[in-house]
Amino acid sequence: MLDSAAEPVLSLRDVEVSFPIRRGFFAKPGRLHAVNKVSLDVQRGEFISIVGESGCGKSTLAKTLLGLQPATAGTIRINGRDLADYSRKELAHQVQPIFQDPYSSLNPRKSVAANIALPLILSESLPASEIRDRVREIMQMVSLPQRFEHSYPGQMSGGQRQRVAIARALITRPRILVCDEPTSALDVSVQAQILNLLKDLSRRLNLTSIFISHDLSVVRHLTQRVAVMYLGRVVELGASEEIFNAPRHPYTQLLIRSILPPDPAHRLPPVAWDGGGPDPTNPPRGCHFNPRCRYATDLCRTELPPLAGGVACHAWHDPDAWRAAGGQIPQL
């Protein structure tokens, strides 16, 4: 049970991450706003997913939470303390990553035990016997038989390698796990096992988990809350059942409709939109989704809707006034 009155384990306020870009040799330099004014509080033990298509900024946000990419503006606080005030060693005990491709995130020249132990060795001075015991304990927790201790990542299957990556993330006993598409490089049959393992570990260890995914169907049964990102901004934030059963933002509706149902006869027709995919280097004026949105009005083309009441869409901020002005309410 989450304590919503407690201080959040992770708190983001108006976080921005931008990069300098140049469109041509003679063009003026500009900036790509990969993450734009994201604010979010996450409680201890909460499992929250951040979803959106490629280029929406979710992976940049993940890197920023891990201290791998500095924020350009805004604040990130972990347990009430600014992220920038943590040393590398201290941060290793607060937040750990699980990346998409376990093969490239593990050192192929080191044994499974050495890979798992690495974050602990780098952040604490412990006797070898204690490190060995912690590695064995954590291998058992992720259901990796002890016989793999001296194996190398190249000798293991994709699912086993991802278990090694999860064990390595947990060895420092962090409070927060940042999982960046941790199952997208795995076979479908193995995906479910890894997702169930992550869910089970989060519950047993009371971990706060941030799960990054482009695929809503993956997060559906996993997560308590969902944040939907579009062109660097959170456009909808709410409880998982609300997002899946009654999505309000037209972009969330588009994502939900693209999930393949178990019975193809009951597939929802796709949401129609005008215009092509988004260009993060040149976001449209007003609501960034307006070129793709069939509900867009003149207001949408001029004013950026803030995230209010869990949704960044003019149609939902005052539905009666919106209808009275001739606007349509977005429907799934």
Task: Match 């062109």 to its residue by tokens.
Answer: 231
Q: How far is CA 6 from CA 9, 45, 54, 209, 281, in A?
A: 9, 12, 34, 17, 38
C-beta closer to ligand SF4: residue 81 or 323: 323
Q: How far is CA 174 from its chain centroid?
A: 17
Minimum CB distance to ligand SF4, residue 296 (Å): 4
HEC assignment per residue over 129-174: HHHHHHHHHHHHHCCCCHHHCCCCHHHCCHHHHHHHHHHHHHCCCC
Own/partner long-range contacts of 291-298 (Cβ < 8 Å, ≥24 apart) = 292/250, 292/251, 292/254, 293/250, 293/251, 294/250, 295/250, 295/327, 295/328, 295/329, 295/330, 297/325, 297/326, 297/327
Minimum CB distance to ligand SF4, residue 32 (Å): 21
97 binds ligand SF4, rule: CB under 6 A: no
211 binds ligand SF4, rule: CB under 6 A: no
Minimum CB distance to ligand SF4, residue 287 (Å): 3
Minimum CB distance to ligand SF4, residue 258 (Å): 16
C-beta closer to ligand SF4: residue 165 or 216: 216
Minimum CB distance to ligand SF4, residue 319 (Å): 11
120 binds ligand SF4, rule: CB under 6 A: no
Of the candidates 209, 187, 157, 237, the one whose C-alpha atom is nearest the C-alpha of residue 44 is 209
Site for ligand SF4 in 121-140 (CB under 6 A): none
What would the DSSP string read from start to end of 41-85?
A: EE-TT-EEEEE--TTSSHHHHHHHHTTSS--SEEEEEETTEEGGG
C-beta closer to ligand SF4: residue 211 or 230: 230
Task: List the one residue from 250, 278, 280, 283 that touches ligand SF4 (CB under 6 A).
Answer: 250
The CA distance from 96 to 65, in Å, is 9
Minimum CB distance to ligand SF4, residue 295 (Å): 4
Minimum CB distance to ligand SF4, residue 260 (Å): 24
Task: List the one residue from 77, 134, 161, 314 that touches ligand SF4 (CB under 6 A).
Answer: 314
C-beta closer to ligand SF4: residue 100 or 252: 252
Minimum CB distance to ligand SF4, residue 244 (Å): 18
Site for ligand SF4 in 278-307 (CB under 6 A): 287, 289-290, 293, 295-296, 300, 305
Binding mask 163-202 for ligand SF4 (x = CB under 6 A): ----------------------------------------
The CA distance from 226 to 58, in Å, is 12
Residues 6+ apart with CB under 8 A from 194: 159, 162, 163, 166, 182, 183, 186
Give the count of residues interacting with ligand SF4 (CB under 6 A). Answer: 13
230 binds ligand SF4, rule: CB under 6 A: no
Give the footprint of ligand SF4 on this chain (CB under 6 A). 249-250, 287, 289-290, 293, 295-296, 300, 305, 313-315
